[in-house]
Amino acid sequence: MKTIRLFFVAAWMALCGTLSSQATHSFTVADGTFQLDGKPFTVRAAELHYPRIPRPYWEHRIRMCKALGMNTICIYVFWNVHEQREGQFDFTGQNDVAHFCRLAQKHGMWVIVRPGPYVCAEWEMGGLPWWLLKKPNIGLRQLDPYFMERVREFEKRVGQQLAPLTIERGGPIIMVQVENEYGSFGTNRPYVSQIRDIIRQEGFEHVTLFQCDWATNFENNALPDLLWTMNFGTGSDVDEQFRRLGELRPTTPKMCSEYWSGWFDKWGAQHETRPADDMVAGIDQMLRQGISFSLYMTHGGTSFGHWAGANSPGYAPDVTSYDYDAPINEHGQPTHKFWLLRETLQRHTAQKLPDVPASPMPVIDIPEFHLTEYAPLEAGIARTVNSSPLRTMEDLDMGWGTIIYRTTLPAIETPSTLTVNQCHDYGRVFVDSVQVGTIDRRLGQSAVTLPPCKQGAQLTIMVEGMGRINFGQAIADRKGITHQVTITTADDADIPLTLWAISLIPDDYECAINALSKTDKTTATLGAAGYYRGYFDLDSVGDTFLCTEHFGKGQVYVNGHPLGRFWSIGPQQTLYLPGCWLQKGRNEVIVLDVNGTDQPTLFGQRFPELNRLILATGNEHRTDPASRPSLPAPASQGVITANSGWQQATLPQAVTGRYLAVELTTDDVHGSALAEIVAYNAKSERLPCENWATRYVSSEDIVGGNHTADKAFDQQESTHWSGAQNNLPQLLVIDMGTRQTVGAVGLLLPNAHTASYRLFIFD
């Protein structure tokens, strides 16, 4: 008994010793600056995402940020990795966000936490769990009672994990963000206020809370009792970005809470980069003016498995690599940007920066090897249900994977059109095991031609779901076929199809293993789609890049770890394979390929291939003069001068039509460029642009900077469409999807541009 008591006394003293050695600090806002322990403090934060970095590498990446000259790590908390099934929370292992914060503290870094609930981040559904979509008509990011109940439950767990780590309790957390860029989603102060209240009530009542938005929209949802920070990217005019904030709150500390070092990539488009000099110049200017910043991303990492999201308007799925052209590349190495930035940050820092830590792993090659085992995709079917109406994956309780819809056809005498409304996201259509077409949502496709066939022929539509949309109003992005399937015959009769057998193939490792272990191999009815397994031997481990160029489209698992999506169209042609997931001796690789291959080989190389597009047809470049429509008289015209922000062109009278065209002429050195175009109806309400597509563009820069036409209506002010300078005037014709009545048009040019414009609305 005495021994036990002594043990407790000793343990208590040890605990007190630990707590008292963890001296508490204070982080406050006073006299126009942030103050750490009462002294002015400039936040130099590095954004990192713990799910995008294998846990064994967390510490190395944090030390890299410190060596770069940062004093803070900024993180999102990703709801959908922590609650993959409703009510089942996981904050262990790779999800141990508290451990990540403690590692930052161990290396003398402060932490900014951004617990959503929505985070955007090019992450599946912006961090929201897919199972929310099981509720029909759920109001995401709104005061929907079920959504808010689940948000509170999640934030409660975040509080349990991270509230003990706030600065006043001896931890590293100096600031916590409320929601994320709500202004680019809508205007809803009551909702944002409730998120603020939940975050306060769940343990963050003393720490500094802030809201981030863009300079053009932060006032829409600004709450008086929160700090306001601005998000903008490389190349922005820093003074202009803070002008309005300075007018409204002359004594608030200035902070760029997301300064974009580069940008993200989508399948089927060039790799994005941003110039290192411009990035560093912006940071240098901010530091000279005492402006705090968070560099988004300082190290982007990888959206492993099925975690990459998709952008909207339209459907633009993000690639697996989240390299982001950041200073620390995808596999944790310093880049040219890193060294340039380190030099600049050193100039603004009194102490000598620590040495750059050695990489935890060498980089290795893996010689080519064959994947000799095969199981058809159908062997992965976990369950099949019969349903008269179509059902989505969410209806059938599956988060990610492939869904196969089968029915029998009536007799079709002449070629007919099969319309799949809507196919989310990539479909292959078969009649009696013969492929008759593919449907790629990315390209706005929804129909294939059916050949004549006999009554009773089997129709199979295989639909692979990709990342759920993470930006804008389209985030309730259900997977599979979301509405109906119809055949339209040559004489224009519509035949809706019903009575479906719906099979589910989850994309996870267990499912792949099961499929490959089946001895009664199912007959392959979907071409060569299926699971390919092979092995390679290693004498020593290291990071490598697995080249998937011989495969079609799907997922890769190595030793059970999901590496992410690949797609032969590029631009990404290799998948990052962290050495910490490899072992000496035999390693297993499974490729789930929904298109299939006749050359199932892989090899590992020492460098990533992030910029090799292999497109059958140019999907962005719609510059064929034959498709240039003839224009009616302009609905409006005017001139926009440099740095004048959003311009509203109110039409003398509202005009109705399906197409909205803008013609730009500029004679300045910058060429023609347009950052954003939006349309309003006659009541000044913004028209949705989720289904807008480029019908025609006179030219677009796809070489220099990936300034494609869609950048003019991607709702991202920091990206722009740019046309060739020698080809004036530039014309962009947007297909609005349906006829719309337009009363006004909003236009935003990139900073230094001046242009005259003419607007047209027509059918």
Residue ranges in contact with ligand GLA by CB under 6 A:
119-122, 180-181, 231, 258, 264
At 517, give phi and psi (nearest 5°). -90, -5
User: Nearest distance from residue 625's CB to ligand GLA, in Å?
Assistant: 35
Closest CA relative to residue 407, chosen from 439, 381, 435, 431 = 431
Q: Beta strands 227-233 and 208-213: pairing type?
A: parallel
Q: Which residues are catalytic?
A: 181, 258
d(Cα 668, Cα 728) in Å, to the nearest integer? Answer: 12
Q: Beta strands 585-593 and 530-538: pairing type?
A: antiparallel
Q: What ranges in 461-526 are assigned the alpha helix state H?
A: 509-517
Query: Contact at 8 Å (CB) between 268 and 311?
Result: no
Number of Cβ within a 10 Å radius of residue 699: 21
User: Nearest distance from residue 215's CB to ligand GLA, in Å?
Assistant: 13
d(Cα 378, Cα 380) in Å, to the nearest integer? Answer: 5
d(Cα 27, Cα 206) in Å, to the nearest integer? Answer: 10
d(Cα 335, Cα 324) in Å, to the nearest integer? Answer: 12
User: Nearest distance from residue 116's CB to ligand GLA, in Å?
Assistant: 10
- String of b and e for 583-602 (b: at least 16 CB within 10 Å)? eeeebbbbbbbbbbbeebeb
User: Nearest distance from residue 341's CB to ligand GLA, in Å?
Assistant: 18
* Residue number closest to ligand GLA, CB atom: 120
Would you call 108 exposed, middle or buried from its count of C-beta atoms within 10 A (0-12, 13-18, 19+)? exposed
d(Cα 490, Cα 502) in Å, to the nearest integer? Answer: 28
Query: Contact at 8 Å (CB) between 267 and 443?
Result: no
User: Based on CB atoms, which residue is closest to ligand GLA, 181 or 395?
Assistant: 181
Element (DSSP H or E) covering residue 589:
strand 585-593
Between CA 69 and CA 75, with CA 72 as vertex, the angle to 5 degrees is 125
User: Nearest distance from residue 191's CB to ligand GLA, in Å?
Assistant: 17
User: Nearest distance from residue 38's CB to ligand GLA, in Å?
Assistant: 31
User: Nearest distance from residue 122's CB to ligand GLA, in Å?
Assistant: 5
Element (DSSP H or E) covering residue 162:
helix 145-162
Q: At what angle do helices 336-347 and 276-288 cross, to 10 degrees?
A: 20
d(Cα 479, Cα 123) in Å, to the nearest integer? Answer: 16
Residues in a beta bridge with 480: 392, 424
State the amino acid at position 348 in one-letter form: H
User: Nearest distance from residue 257's CB to ligand GLA, in Å?
Assistant: 9
Residues in a beta bridge with 562: 557
User: Nearest distance from residue 716's CB to ligand GLA, in Å?
Assistant: 7
- String of b and e for 474-505 (b: at least 16 CB within 10 Å)? bbbbbbbbbeebbbebeeeeeeebeebebbbb
User: Based on CB atoms, which residue is closest to ligand GLA, 211 or 722?
Assistant: 211
At 442, give phi and psi (nearest 5°). -55, -35
User: Nearest distance from residue 335's CB to ligand GLA, in Å?
Assistant: 18
d(Cα 256, Cα 245) in Å, to the nearest integer? Answer: 12
User: Nearest distance from residue 679's CB to ligand GLA, in Å?
Assistant: 23
Residues in a beta bridge with 429: 437, 461
User: Based on CB atoms, which residue is closest to ligand GLA, 119 or 198?
Assistant: 119
3-state secondary structure 98-158: HHHHHHHHHCCCEEEEECCCCCCCCEHHHHCCHHHHHCCCCCCCCCCHHHHHHHHHHHHHH
Q: Beta strands 730-748 and 693-697: pairing type?
A: antiparallel
* Structure tokens that stand for 503 in this block: 């099979």
d(Cα 449, Cα 84) in Å, to the nearest integer? Answer: 39
User: Nearest distance from residue 260's CB to ligand GLA, in Å?
Assistant: 6
User: Based on CB atoms, which residue is closest to ligand GLA, 180 or 392?
Assistant: 180
